[in-house]
């Protein structure tokens, strides 16, 4: 998996596209990385930012509104810290409640053809994600749930933008990371690596895998 780690000078400015940034940080006030990323996203025209822990503190979503926001976007950004090798709980609940059968997948095609982009801060160093280090796996091993979610909804999963060692990152490193994020939002979809991203796959869910009204 290719990661976005720096700005490519060959990027060309693109016309603003509709972007939905779905952000989740349980303690944003203390964040050094995600707070800056959210501030940048909020300042860019055409970007719709939803800070889940602020907008849904009761863990209750306006599902029709959330579906409309996602459907209106061409790019959906997942902005969060990696916690226990995954996304924060409230973002996971958003997926459970909003990406419904018949709307996002299983005959529904509301998100088909859109792009999904993971922008995450990682506490451990990149070297720690190695079979010989304490995280035991390359970071790619933790991406299949994101990749398959995109595939099931007919979306392209773009190369993630990751900041490893976020707990110890210098102010300069964080500023560079935020600057790259801003440049990416401003130039989407004219990113150099777009030609290498596979088209949206088709994952058909058989009706018998989702019997109506049944509970597991």
Q: What is the pLDDT of residues 149-207, one digit of tens each?
A: 999 999 999 999 999 999 999 999 999 999 999 999 999 999 988 888 878 777 888 87
* pLDDT for the residue numbered 8: 43
CA dist 31 and 25 (Å) reads: 8
Q: In this structure, is residue 25 part of a structural domain?
A: yes
Domain that holds residue 104: 19-199
Binning pLDDT at 50, 70 and 90, where does residue 212 land?
low
Q: In this structure, is residue 106 part of a structural domain?
A: yes
* pLDDT for the residue numbered 216: 65
Q: In this structure, is residue 7 part of a structural domain?
A: no
Q: Could you tell me the CATH number of the domain that includes residue 152?
A: 3.40.50.360
Q: In this structure, is residue 145 part of a structural domain?
A: yes
In sequence order, the 6+-apart residues with CB closer than 8 A to the CB of 117 are 75, 76, 77, 78, 158, 160, 161
* pLDDT for the residue numbered 175: 96
Residue 202, beta-bridge partner list: none
* pLDDT for the residue numbered 10: 37
Total domains present in the chain = 1
In tens, the pLDDT along 2-59 reads: 455 443 433 445 445 699 999 999 998 888 999 999 999 999 999 999 999 999 999 9
């Amino acid at each position: 998996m290719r990661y976005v780690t720096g700005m490519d000078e060959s990027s060309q400015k693109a016309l603003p596209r509709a972007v939905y940034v779905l952000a989740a940080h349980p303690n944003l006030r203390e964040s050094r990385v995600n707070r800056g990323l959210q501030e940048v996203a909020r300042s860019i025209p055409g970007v719709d930012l939803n800070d889940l822990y602020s907008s849904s503190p009761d863990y209750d979503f306006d599902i029709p509104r959330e579906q409309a926001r996602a459907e209106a976007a061409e790019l959906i950004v997942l902005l969060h810290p990696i916690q226990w090798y995954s996304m924060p709980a409230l973002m996971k609940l958003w997926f459970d409640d909003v990406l419904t059968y018949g709307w996002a997948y299983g005959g529904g095609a509301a998100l088909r053809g859109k792009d999904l982009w993971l922008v995450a801060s990682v506490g451990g160093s990149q070297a720690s994600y190695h079979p010989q280090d304490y995280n035991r796996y390359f970071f790619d091993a933790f991406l299949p749930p994101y990749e398959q979610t995109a595939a099931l909804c007919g979306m392209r999963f773009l190369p993630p933008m990751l900041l490893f060692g976020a707990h110890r990152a210098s102010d300069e490193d964080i500023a560079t990371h935020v600057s790259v994020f801003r440049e990416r939002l401003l130039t989407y979809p004219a990113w150099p690596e777009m030609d290498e991203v596979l088209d949206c796959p088709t994952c058909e869910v058989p009706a018998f895998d989702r019997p109506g009204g049944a509970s597991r």
